[in-house]
Amino acid sequence: MAVLWKHVKEPLPRPKNFVIDLPDEVENILLKALAKDPDDRYQNMNEFAVALDSLPTKHVEKDSHSKKPLRVFLCHASNDKPAVRELYHRLIADGIDVWLDEENLLPGQDWQLEIPDAVRLSDVVIICLSKNSITKEGYIQKEIKYALDIADEKLERSIFIIPLKLEDCNVPERLSKWQWVEIFHKYGYKKLISALKLRESQIGMISPN
C-alpha cells in the first residue's frame, strides 16, 4: 500500500535523469504521455501521433542513423592470423562490427563458450580459407560446424556464410554450395563489401518476431 501511495503522490521522475542527452521536445512528449492525472495526458492516439509528428526533423534523422552495424565473425586458422588481422582492420575501418578472438575475448572468459555465442549472434560468418586451414584439424572445424548449423536456420537465399580465400586453394566440399570470394584478387575486397551490404539489406527486410 505504501508503494502505491508513493506512486500516486510523488512526481514523475524526469526522463532526462535516465537519458542525459534526451532532447527537450522528446522529454515533454514523454512527460505528457506518462502524466499521473489522466486529464493531463494525450486523450487519444491521434493527439499522441500529432505530437510525435511535430518533433524536429533532426531527431528523426538521428534515429534513422542509429541502427547497429553489421556483425561479422571471422572464422580462421591460427596460422592465418596475420592475413586475418589485416582483413579485420579493413572491415572495422568500413564501419563493420567484426568479432576476432584476439580482439574480443577478455581475460578469464571461457573461449569454448564465448566463440559459439559470437557465431550465433553474428549476421555473417566469413570463413577464411588457406592451404593450411583446409587441411588442419582442430577448433576451426568446430567453428565451421557451428556456422553450418546456424545457416540451416536462416531464410533461403540469405547471405550468412561467406567462404573467403586468403590464397589460391580448394574450397572444402561442405562449403562449396556458397560462392566464395578471393580476397587476394584486385576486386576481391570490393566484392566482399558488396555481399555484406546485400546482407545488411536482407536483414532490414526481415520482419521482427
Q: What is the pLDDT of residues 70-81, one digit of tens each?
A: 999 999 988 999
**Where is average pLDDT lowest: 13-27, 51-65, 148-162?**
51-65
What pLDDT score was predicted for residue 133? 82
What is the per-residue pLDDT across 105-119, written as a single tens digit (0 to 9) for each?
899 999 889 988 999
What CATH number does residue 200 fall under?
3.40.50.10140
For residue 27, how many other CB atoms are within 10 A of its CB? 14
Q: Coil, strand or helix: which one is 163?
A: strand
- Distance from C-alpha of 16 to C-alpha of 27, rounded to nearest angstrom: 7
Among 64, 79, 105, the domain-final residue is: 64
CA–CA gap between residue 40 and residue 188 (Å, rounded) = 60
Mean pLDDT across 17-30:
76
Residue 50 and residue 144 share a domain: no
Boundary residue ending a domain (46, 64, 82) = 64
Say what the pTM is.
Answer: 0.65
Q: Do residues 200 and 70 lie in contact, with contact meaning Cβ atoms separated by under 8 Å?
A: yes
pLDDT reading at 3 higher than 90: no
One domain for residues 32 and 88? no
Closest CA to 47 of 58, 33, 57: 33
Same domain, 87 and 42: no
pLDDT band at 59 (very low <50, low <70, confident <90, very high): very low
In this structure, of 5-19, 27-41, 63-77, 141-155, the range with the lowest mean pLDDT score is 5-19
> Are 189 and 172 within 8 A, CB to CB?
no
Evaluate if residue 6 carries a pLDDT over 80.
no
Whether 39 and 138 share a structural domain? no
- Res 189 pLDDT > 90: yes
Q: Is residue 208 pLDDT above 50, yes or no?
A: no
Instruction: Give the pLDDT confidence score for residue 61 in this predicted structure.
Output: 47
| CB atoms closer than 10 angstroms to residue 115 | 21
Predicted pLDDT at 159: 94
Residue span of the structural domain in which 40 resides: 2-64
pLDDT for the residue 136: 72
Number of domains the chain contains: 2
Give mean pLDDT, residues 161-189.
Answer: 94
pLDDT at 205: 53
Same domain, 79 and 97: yes
87 with 59, same domain: the answer is: no
Q: How far apart are CA 162 and CA 171, in angstroms?
A: 11
The average confidence (pLDDT) of the chain is: 83
**What's the number of CA atoms in the CB half-sphere (13 Å) around residue 124?**
30
Strand ranges of the sheet holding 97-99, from the earlier edge strand across to the other edge:
97-99, 71-75, 124-129, 161-165, 181-182
Q: Are residues 47 and 122 in the same domain?
A: no
Whether residues 53 and 125 fall in one domain:
no
144, 146, 149, 154 alpha-carbon torsion, rounded to 10°: -90
